């Protein structure tokens, strides 16, 4: 039994166990009584796996069980490792492919998160403007939220529809706003929700002026981030090209007899592993250099 067989078998076994665990959890939820809607959202027990729960929420996939995503990534990694070894019989390359596949999946989720954050970032100034108009016309906090136009992105409209359902269930306004913030899963959304919660608790006489100051701050932040994102885009493109190019070349020449004999040896396997580690470290450094400071979330 080769080390590659043991590694891929462990990957498949762990993935199958996580899929089974997710299925059992789903069956228990469907057979259990309805969840008490009076329990605050922050007291609900949710699985947290390596920050995957927060990543899915910020990517707009909060309804997806993180255990299913994790198990799917592990199974996909094992399958990819087997396919690579089937076409290019280099065990070390199969192991690297098995490990890299879940990482690529995580990068895709991060991309979805960034795309969603960009959509929300462009919408928040208009949302704040509508909230100011609603408050000045006599609406309370929840009324101003429900009066927001349905033409906003679904990332905002869907949580607002859930807010309407929470109000219909008779939940307290503070709990409703907290749940809204968790569903929006965005730093600016957290700031807006906290301002509205404070206005609900202590009175909203100064709420229009506070929202105006918040709108100015959000617009300034958007301008700075969009400019920096455009200027640093070449760093991200260069990092992806620098990491992918050597491995593409290796795949192209991997079927040659000389290449196979070289990388099937322990020395060749060590070179591949060191190259993979160096690629990951270099890509992480370039990504860190080309990234902007992460906005801290207040809720979630």
- pLDDT per residue as tens digits for the range 248-276: 888 777 777 877 788 888 888 888 889 88
Q: Please give the pLDDT value at position 269.
A: 86
Residue pair 113/185 in contact by the 8 Å Cβ criterion: no
> Which tens digit of pLDDT belongs to each residue from 181-236?
889 888 888 888 988 888 877 776 778 888 888 888 888 888 888 887 777 777 77
Question: Tell me: the pLDDT tens digits for 223-238?
Answer: 888 887 777 777 777 7
Q: What is the pLDDT of residues 50-76, one digit of tens each?
A: 678 888 888 888 888 888 888 888 888
Q: How confident is the model at residue 6 (pLDDT cuts 50, 70, 90)?
A: low
Name the E strands within the chain: none
pLDDT score of 36 more than 60: no
pTM: 0.74
Question: What is the spatial distance between Cα 298 and Cα 138, in angstroms, rounded to a whole number?
Answer: 28
Residue (of 207, 120, 194, 179) closest to 155 by Cα position? 120
How far apart, in Å, are the Cα atoms of 259 and each of 80, 94, 263, 264?
Answer: 21, 15, 6, 8
Name which of 117, 130, 240, 251 is nearest 190 in CA terms. 117
What percentage of residues in the chain have a pLDDT greater than 70?
A: 79
pLDDT score recorded for residue 246: 84
Structure tokens at 300: 């979630």
């Amino acid at each position: 039994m080769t080390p590659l067989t043991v590694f891929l078998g462990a990957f498949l076994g762990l993935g199958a166990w996580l899929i089974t665990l997710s299925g059992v959890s789903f069956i228990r939820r469907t057979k259990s009584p309805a969840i008490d809607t009076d329990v605050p959202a922050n007291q609900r027990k949710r699985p947290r796996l390596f920050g995957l729960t927060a990543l899915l929420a910020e990517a707009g996939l909060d309804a997806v069980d993180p255990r299913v995503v994790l198990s799917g990534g592990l199974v996909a990694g094992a399958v990819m490792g087997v396919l690579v070894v089937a076409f290019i019989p280099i065990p070390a390359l199969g192991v690297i492919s098995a490990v890299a596949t879940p990482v690529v999946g995580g990068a895709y989720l991060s991309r979805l998160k960034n795309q969603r954050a960009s959509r929300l970032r462009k919408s928040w100034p208009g949302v704040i403007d509508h909230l100011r108009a609603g408050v000045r016309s006599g609406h309370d906090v929840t009324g101003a939220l429900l009066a927001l136009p349905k033409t906003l992105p679904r990332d905002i409209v869907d949580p607002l529809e859930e807010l309407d359902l929470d109000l219909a269930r008779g939940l307290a306004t503070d709990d409703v706003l907290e749940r809204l913030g968790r569903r929006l899963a965005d730093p600016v959304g957290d700031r807006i929700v906290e301002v509205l919660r404070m206005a609900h608790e202590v009175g909203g006489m100064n709420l229009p002026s506070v929202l105006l100051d918040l709108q100015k701050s959000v617009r300034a932040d958007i301008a700075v981030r969009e400019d920096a994102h455009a200027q640093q885009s070449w760093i991200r493109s260069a990092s992806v090209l620098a990491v992918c190019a050597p491995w593409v070349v290796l795949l192209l020449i991997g079927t040659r007899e000389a290449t196979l004999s070289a990388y099937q040896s322990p020395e060749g396997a060590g070179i591949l592993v060191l190259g993979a580690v160096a690629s990951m470290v270099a890509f992480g450094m370039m990504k860190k250099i080309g990234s902007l400071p992460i906005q801290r979330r207040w809720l979630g």
